[in-house]
């Protein structure tokens, strides 16, 4: 196999992240912040409305695997409060949904670090292959988190499901990564940590897959059979070499 590019899942594959959307601090912090915008809402009412808006986005979607848009969610939240919108300067209203989305993620996050050897391996691979990233996430979160850990510059393109309205295992999002690379499935490998979303999804386009058995993700799916399994990220070069030699 002539490997020209490697496409990586992000969270659970490159980044060891833990978030908790049930954490009371999220809704307390945002509700207190909103008082400065002229919006008075109790933390639990805020939580309930957030999840209702999220479910509304999903139920309104015609996609089999719908993805939400966190910034649009907070924009709708603000638009439901026209008295606050009218009182706020236009410039502030324009950026507030993004600020709220970032705040929500920041407060909900309890761990953000790379898996061991990720940077060393990426340094090595970047000199030999095109690298792309593909994540079920929001651009408002994924790209800043990659930048904070110093890995965003390795990847072009960075494909984030929140920009498309659908998520893995939808084959179209894998196709978007390949199109961004200008390559066909036979030219690339996909590395991910979830048997359903990553391995099964990539296999729909006949992408060769390397499954990273990390501390996250679904580890079984009856229709998913990866081409190679690694249990630590440092073993990735060995997996790539094996698949290249196998042809």
Asked if residue 241 and residue 172 are part of one domain, the reply reads yes
Asked if residue 83 and residue 119 are part of one domain, the reply reads no
Asked if residue 138 and residue 104 are part of one domain, the reply reads no
pLDDT digits over 133-169, tens only? 999 999 999 999 999 999 999 999 999 999 999 999 9
Asked if residue 91 and residue 13 are part of one domain, the reply reads no
Q: How many domains does the chain have?
A: 2
Asked if residue 221 and residue 118 are part of one domain, the reply reads yes
Asked if residue 205 and residue 124 are part of one domain, the reply reads yes
Question: Which of 147, 152, 70 is closest to 103 using CA atoms?
Answer: 70
CATH number at residue 162: 3.40.50.1000
Determine the structural domain holding residue 236 and report its residue range.
5-18+112-246
Asked if residue 73 and residue 50 are part of one domain, the reply reads yes
Measured CA to CA, the distance from residue 136 to residue 229 in angstroms comes to: 21
pTM of the model: 0.93
Q: CA-CA distances (angstroms) from residue 128 to 12, 97, 121, 211, 243?
A: 24, 40, 11, 21, 15
Asked if residue 88 and residue 142 are part of one domain, the reply reads no
- CA dihedral defined by 53, 56, 62, 63, rounded to 10 degrees? 50
Q: What is the pLDDT of residue 86?
A: 86
Q: What is the pLDDT of residue 230?
A: 97
Asked if residue 105 and residue 37 are part of one domain, the reply reads yes
Asked if residue 83 and residue 187 are part of one domain, the reply reads no
End residue of a domain, out of 68, 85, 110: 110
pLDDT (mean) for 58-72: 97
Backbone phi, then psi, for 130, in 5-degree steps?
-75, 140
Asked if residue 202 and residue 99 are part of one domain, the reply reads no
Measured CA to CA, the distance from residue 131 to residue 154 in angstroms comes to: 7
Residue whose structure tokens are 């897959």:
209
Q: What is the pLDDT of residue 212?
A: 97
pLDDT digits over 212-241, tens only? 999 998 888 888 899 999 999 999 999 999
Evaluate the omega torsion of the peptide bond into residue 169 and state whether it is cis, within 30 degrees of 0.
yes
End residue of a domain, out of 76, 94, 110: 110
């Amino acid at each position: 196999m002539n490997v020209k590019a490697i496409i990586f899942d992000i969270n659970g594959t490159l980044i060891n992240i833990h978030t908790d959307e049930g954490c009371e601090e999220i809704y307390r912090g945002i509700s207190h912040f909103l008082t400065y915008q002229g919006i008075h809402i109790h933390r639990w009412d805020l939580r309930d409305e957030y999840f209702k808006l999220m479910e509304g986005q999903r139920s309104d979607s015609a996609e089999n695997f719908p993805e939400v848009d966190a910034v649009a969610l907070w924009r709708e939240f603000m638009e439901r409060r026209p008295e606050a919108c009218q009182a706020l300067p236009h410039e502030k209203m324009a950026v507030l949904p993004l600020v709220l989305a970032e705040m929500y993620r920041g407060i909900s996050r309890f761990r953000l670090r790379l898996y061991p050897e990720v940077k060393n391996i990426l340094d090595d691979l970047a000199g030999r292959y095109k690298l792309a990233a593909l994540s079920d996430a929001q651009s408002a979160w994924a790209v800043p988190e990659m930048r904070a850990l110093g890995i965003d510059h390795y990847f072009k393109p960075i494909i984030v499901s929140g920009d498309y309205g659908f998520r893995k295992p939808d084959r179209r999002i894998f196709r978007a990564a390949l199109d961004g690379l200008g390559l066909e499935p036979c030219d690339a490998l996909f590395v991910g940590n979830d048997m359903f979303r990553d391995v099964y999804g990539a296999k729909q386009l006949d992408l060769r897959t390397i499954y990273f058995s990390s501390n996250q993700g679904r580890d079984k799916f009856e229709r998913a059979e990866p081409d190679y399994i690694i249990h630590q990220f440092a073993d990735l070069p060995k997996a790539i070499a094996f698949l290249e030699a196998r042809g």
